[in-house]
Structure 1
Amino acid sequence: MLAIEPFAGGHGKIGARYQLVADNLSAHLKLDPKLSKRTVQERFTLLLDEFKQNDQAYRKKTGVAKNYEEHKQLLLDLSDRIRDVKAMKTDEKQKKKDKEDILQTQGAILRELAVKRRSKRDAATEESKQDSSSAPSTESAIVSGSTRDSSSGNYSGTSNRKNSKTAKAAQDGSLAAYLEQQVMSHHEDNALLEQQLKLMKQKGEEEALRWDREFAFKSKKLELAERK
């Protein structure tokens, strides 16, 4: 049982391990018909439960662990091993959950930033289109004004310069909007990086705490073994 450890099997493998134990016992004891995996599992569970109850009652009464016969010592070893396996499985599940939480958080951050960038990019594109559509009108006004002034023999250089400044201001406004968008994207990239670093730091602290707990658990187990 200790060599095969059916209780340590993953999903879908426990039954196969108990079947292997049953086959080994049947061959060793030369049983016919052979033992079934269900019989072995139920018998093992019953023996282990009875041992735990008696052992706990004895410890509560005396405060110390007693010297066991060989088969009961094996049950004690199996009980300790089962406890360790359960702790390992719980720890693995927690690590998997922590990893999934981090990935979900990062995914949410990336989606939010993508939506913001697209909205700002669309707004900048729309503003650029509006500026482009207003530029021909301004140029037409310049040409029209020049034509009218020329036909009347009174060309106005001041009006022409004013219209040119208006067109340039429209272009400058479009450029400013583009630069502002780039600056905001840079800030958002920095915010994402800071968030990722924060998550990595938190994960490192949780991992260190887990190792501390595991070390304390193993130290306590070793101390109990030495007392025996």
Structure 2
Amino acid sequence: MMSPFYQPSAHPTDRGPSMNSANGRKIYPFHPSAEEIDIEVVAHHLANANRWNGATQHKQFRSRISFSVAEHSVLCAKFMVEHLDRPDLELEALLHDAPEYMTGDMIRPVKHHPTVHAIMKPIEDLADLAFAKRFNLAYPFPPEIKIADGAVCAAEFRQIVPHAADDPSDMLLPETLCAPYEIAMLSAYEAKEYFLDAFEVAMNRRRHFANPPDTL
């Protein structure tokens, strides 16, 4: 599952290359630790990570040109609770893109190309497993996660992604499930607070179900 671009040494303490994080501590994307995941750091990074490779524009406010992974994640969690009636999966929906706090949001045509996917998928899997362990998430993610993600993506595409009227994207098809939310395109700071508030709500709700996180 290790990326072919990184081969660990025989030394047991070697965790591979590291990166800086918002709290000044190192993150090891090739060897993530569940115990080291700091949700405020996650929120900070996701709030600064743009979706759609930055090809976004609010239709009313020209100054709003960035749409964050943090805001997307909150909308997915809302859709999971309000429209799929699965509050038990709210935390999974909120954190389904959380590994992108290490990798950023790679645009789909690049990420899904076989040569890139073969490298990125193991890195994402390691991060997903770390988050699943840290927050006791259902993993592999159940299909409802992809449904919520797709519905929010459709809302984003229709509202904030400039495209031609005859764009053949399946996100414009009438039968495509589309989340009924207005995409606000919050500032990075607002998106961070939005995510952290949603995390607190999801954690409190999680206590009512059979698999609450082992640690808070």
Higher relative contact order (CA 8 A, sep 6+): 2
TM range (shorter): under 0.3
TM-score under structure 1 length normalisation: 0.19
